[in-house]
């Protein structure tokens, strides 16, 4: 348990079975400790030291460790709405933790329902570390939300807050706002065309 405590302290109480195996601790030992109540099984490949105080980032850390378990990708990053919340530039409350993994990543394990997987090959400068967690860069996170959810109000709030907090400069904020405006125009045009098509197909 001393070895496991030392390992878990690196992840705020979470214990990746892959890292435990690297110390020579077999999976069967972790299973027995979980049966005895010394560990809690969080998801496949991830345990928690029982009664270890969890912080507000515990679920985010668990999502990253889950993705990396069993030869999973090392370059997973929190993204989309989750990234905006982590940066503190949005008050959105996503029901799932958004995670971006490489296009070629193999995730053979059963995915917890509270994790939403996105696939993209992120460049090095698109992954930052915030609160010790890998997270997509502010600009990338905003554009990801805009392209997948089309929720322009979330993107606009994030831009304003990121500018206020000094996470982006005025030039980047202006460029992002232009992309939001283009997205609004595209959505409006699509909606208008759909309405016209519906009207033309209606019986007269």
Helix, strand, coil share (%) of the chain residues, nearest 5: 50, 15, 35
Identify the pLDDT of residue 192: 47
- Specify whether the CB–CB gap between 81 and 99 falls below 8 A: no
pLDDT, position 198: 46
55-192 is classed in which CATH architecture? Answer: 2-Layer Sandwich (3.30)
Band the pLDDT of 17: cuts 50, 70, 90. confident
- Percent of the chain past pLDDT 90, that is, above it, reads 47
Lowest mean pLDDT among 30-34, 52-56, 63-67, 164-168: 52-56
What are 28-61's pLDDT values in tens digits? 888 898 888 888 888 778 888 887 777 788 889 8
Both tokens of residue 82?
A: 């989750």
| Contact between residue 4 and residue 10 where contact means Cβ atoms under 8 Å apart | no
The pair of structure tokens assigned to 180 is: 């939001």
pTM beyond 0.75, yes or no: no
Query: Is the pLDDT reported for residue 196 higher than 80?
Result: no
Would you say 91 and 42 are in contact if contact means Cβ atoms under 8 Å apart? Answer: no
pLDDT at residue 203, rounded to an integer: 53
Residue 80, both tokens: 């989309």
Instruction: Name the residue among 59, 49, 71, 69 with its Cα closest to residue 133.
Output: 59
pLDDT of residue 190: 56
Residues 6+ apart with CB under 8 A from 81: 90, 92, 94, 98, 145, 149, 154
Q: Which two tokens stand for residue 189?
A: 């045009």
State residue 70's pLDDT score.
62
Whether the CB-CB separation of 161 and 89 falls below 8 Å is answered with yes
Q: What DSSP line would sit under 26-60, residue for residue?
A: -HHHHHHHHHTTSEEEEETTEEEETTPPP-TTHHH
For residue 36, give the nearest of 4, 70, 66, 11 by alpha carbon: 4
Taken as a whole, the chain contains a residue count of 204
CATH 3.30.460 range(s) for the chain read 55-192
């Amino acid at each position: 348990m001393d070895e496991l405590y030392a390992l878990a302290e690196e992840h705020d109480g979470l214990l990746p079975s892959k890292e435990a195996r690297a110390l020579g601790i077999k999976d069967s030992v972790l299973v027995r400790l979980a049966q005895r109540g010394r560990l809690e099984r969080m998801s496949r490949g991830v345990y928690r030291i029982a009664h270890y105080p969890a912080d507000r980032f515990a679920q985010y850390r668990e999502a990253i460790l889950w993705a990396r378990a069993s030869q999973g990708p090392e370059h997973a990053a929190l993204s989309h709405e989750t990234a905006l919340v982590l940066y503190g530039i949005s008050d959105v409350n996503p029901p799932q933790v958004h995670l971006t993994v490489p296009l070629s990543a193999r995730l053979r394990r059963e995915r917890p329902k509270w994790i939403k997987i996105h696939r993209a090959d992120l460049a090095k400068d698109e992954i930052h570390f915030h609160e010790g967690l890998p997270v997509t860069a502010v600009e990338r996170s905003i554009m990801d939300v805009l392209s997948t959810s089309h929720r322009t109000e979330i993107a606009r709030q994030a831009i304003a807050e990121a500018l206020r907090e000094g996470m982006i400069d005025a030039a980047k904020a202006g460029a992002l706002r232009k992309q939001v405006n283009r997205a609004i125009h595209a959505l409006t045009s699509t909606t208008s065309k759909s309405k016209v098509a519906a009207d033309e197909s209606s019986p007269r």
